[in-house]
Amino acid sequence: MGTGAFTAAELDDRTANIEVVNDSAGLIGLESGSTELVTDSGGSGGNELMIDFNPSGGGNGVNPDSTYQVGGLGEFDSGNIFDVPGVPTADPSAGEIAIDTDTSIESNHAFKVMNQTNSTKQIEVTYTPNENFPSGARLYLVAYYEEGDDDGNSSQEEGLVVGDVTDGDNPKAASIIFADQQYSDPVGSGDEFYVTIIVDVDEVESGTDLGGSLTVRAGSHDEFTNADAQT
C-alpha cells in the first residue's frame, strides 16, 4: 500500500448551490410583522429588513416626551419582564417602560428572527446607533422565544437597550442572546423568536437621530457575545 503522497491533484465540477434571497427566506430569516414601521423592502436591493419610523404618507418620527411601542408583550412572564434587559437590570426596565403588556407578541411584533437551518443555532441581535443617544432617549428591543426553557430561568425572554439607562459593561443589556449561556437557550431548527420595539424619549431636541443598524450573528461567530464570561 502506498503512502498517499502526490505532487498535484485536481477534482473538477463539484456543484455549489448558493443563491442570494430575501431576508425572510435566508437560512437565518428576518421578517417584518404587520406594521408599517418595519418592512422587508429595505437595502439597496429592496430585499432587507428595515425599521423605518418615517413611513411615506404620514408623520416623520417620534414625538418628544413620548413612548412608542411596536408589538405586544402578552406572553411575557409578569415578573421576568422587569428583569429585561438583563441583570443588573436597566433602570427603567422594559417592564416599566412598556405600554402594552396584553397584546400577543406572537401575533403582533415588529419583526421575527427564524432559524431555517437543519440544526440548532446560537443567535445574537445587536443594535449600533448612528450616534450616541442623548440623555433621556432610549430604545428597547425585547424578544420572546416560546421554545425556551420556561422553568423560571427566564430563557424565553431577552432584550437589549440603547441609551444611558444601564451599566455600559453589562453585556446582557447590550444584546439579545439566545445561546448556550446562563438564562438563555439556543434556537432550535425551524424555531423563531419575536421582537417588539419600544422607543422612549423625554424632552429631547427635534432632529435627534435615534437610527442605527441591526446586526444578527449566528453559530460560532468570532464576535458572538459571551455574557457569562463578563458577569
Residues 73-90: tens digit of each pLDDT: 999 887 788 888 876 667
Model confidence, pTM: 0.90
Q: Is 199 helix (H, G, I), strand (E, B) or coil?
A: strand
Query: Is 35 contained in some domain?
Result: no
91 found inside a domain: yes
Element (H, E) at 97: helix 94-97
Set of cell numbers at residue 69: 411601542
**12 lies in a domain?**
no
Query: In which band, very low, low, confident or very high, does the pLDDT at 11 lie, cut at 50, 70 and 90?
Result: confident
Sheet holding 123-129: strands in order across? 175-178, 123-129, 212-218
Tell me whether residue 212 is in a domain.
yes
Q: Is residue 93 part of a domain?
A: yes
Dist. CA 61–CA 205, nearest whole Å: 12
How far apart, in Å, are the Cα atoms of 230 and each of 33, 87, 190? 33, 12, 30
Structural domain includes residue 199: yes
SS3 228: helix
Range of the domain at 101: 64-108+121-230
Give the H or E element holding residue 139: strand 137-144
Residue 141, Cβ neighbours under 10 Å: how many?
25
Q: Are 103 and 118 in contact (CB under 8 A)?
A: no
Query: For the segment 117-128, what is each residue's pLDDT rounded down to a tens digit?
Result: 999 999 999 999
Q: Is residue 155 a part of any domain in this protein? A: yes
Position 24 in a domain:
no
230: left (phi over 0), alpha (psi -120 to 50) or beta: alpha
Instruction: Say how far apart CA 181 and CA 227 lie, in whole Å.
Output: 7
Domain count, the chain: 1
Q: Residue 152: its pLDDT value, please?
A: 55
- What is the overall mean pLDDT for the chain? 87
Q: What is the per-residue pLDDT for 172?
A: 62
Residue 15 CB-half CA count within 13 A: 2
